[in-house]
Amino acid sequence: MIDVIDLKKSFGKLEVLKGVNVKIEKGDIVCVIGPSGSGKSTFLRCLNCMEDPTGGQIIFHGVNIADMRVDINLHRRKIGMVFQQFNLFNNKTVIENIMLAPVHVGVSDLRNAKLHNFFLPLTNMFRKKKNKKSALEITQTKAQIKEEARKNALHLLERIGLSDKADVYPSTLSGGQKQRVAIARALAMNPDVILFDEPTSALDPEMVGEVLDLMRELAEDGMTMVVVTHEMGFAREVASRILFMDQGVILEEADPKSFFESPKHQRTQEFLSKVL
């Protein structure tokens, strides 16, 4: 689904990624681990072009989204992202946080379709007979879009066990609750893949569990995930593949069992002996 080819990224003179090649298939749960400064967060942020790559390609559903001419916003709708610092919208309630993007996307699509249909007689005048375009179908009104998004959001809140928090502001939630809402917000767009950028690193040890449990559930439902994490236990248990990064390259790529039990690369052995 995501095909990363020779991905390079540098900040000024500092070269952070020095040619990364990965293939992420549907249903994969890829855990990226490595020492700090190894470029794993940058790699993850390049996958949805939060950082524009300076070289290489990222093929998502057959389109190279690293190309600056591509409308990245269209593709980001299908790539969810969960941040270390949660980044919930502070001026919106929990349910508004979850609804915001689906409603915006639905309404702007509706508006574009209406505009298209409105100007269609005019634009079709200049087209040859076989090229004439037909009107786009409009199935929902604005109110229906909102209602559906609300229903979906409530359903998601129920799933993460925070139905009673729908109308409170994020500042009143605990860290673990915030992160679960952030995951629900990503899920609300029905993404094909979710990127997790150290989702448990800013949490109290006590709250790590609830977030990891939710991620485990997602994994069981077959969601494709790319997780940058320091939770070795989680990686070992849930991941279908593990990438070990150091100095901007992927040193080792293996399934969890062979990765943790018989690491091949010397640097990997060093790292594992320190963290395990």
* Contact (CB, 8 A) for 156 and 183: no
Minimum distance, C-beta of residue 31 to other proteins, in the bound complex (Å): 20
Minimum distance, C-beta of residue 11 to other proteins, in the bound complex (Å): 13
Decide: is 70 part of the binding site for other proteins (CB under 8 A).
no
Minimum distance, C-beta of residue 192 to other proteins, in the bound complex (Å): 12
Minimum distance, C-beta of residue 169 to other proteins, in the bound complex (Å): 4
Task: Return the residue of 33, 88, 181, 212 that touches other proteins, per CB under 8 A.
Answer: 88
Distance between CA atoms of residues 260 and 69, nearest Å: 41
- Residue 257 carries which side chain, given as an amino acid letter? K
- Of 56-64, 169-177, 226-234, 247-255, the window that binds other proteins (rule: CB under 8 A) is 169-177
In b/e form, how buried is each residue of 97-107, taking b as 16+ CB within 10 angstroms?
Answer: bbbbbbbebbe
Decide: is 31 part of the binding site for other proteins (CB under 8 A).
no
Tokens of 121: 């007689």
Decide: is 174 part of the binding site for other proteins (CB under 8 A).
no
In terms of CB distance, is 86 or 271 closer to other proteins? 86
* Contact (CB, 8 A) for 160 and 181: yes
Q: Which residues are CB-neighbours of 260 under 8 A, at least 6 positions away?
A: 232, 236, 272, 276
- Of 30-38, 55-63, 103-111, 267-275, the window that binds other proteins (rule: CB under 8 A) is 103-111
At which residue do the structure tokens 């559930």 appear? Answer: 217
At which residue do the structure tokens 């767009």 appear? Answer: 189
Could you report how far apart the first and last alpha carbons of the chain are, in Å? Answer: 32
* Contact (CB, 8 A) for 6 and 19: yes
Decide: is 87 part of the binding site for other proteins (CB under 8 A).
yes
Paired with 74 in beta bridges are none
Binding mask 133-162 for other proteins (x = CB under 8 A): ------------------------------
In terms of CB distance, is 7 or 81 closer to other proteins? 81
Sign of CA pseudo-dihedral 4, 273, 225, 74 = negative
Task: Return the residue of 13, 36, 69, 90 that touches other proteins, per CB under 8 A.
Answer: 90
> Which spans of this chain sit near other proteins (rule: CB under 8 A)?
48, 50, 73-81, 83, 85, 87-92, 100-101, 104-105, 108, 169, 171-172, 182, 185-186, 189
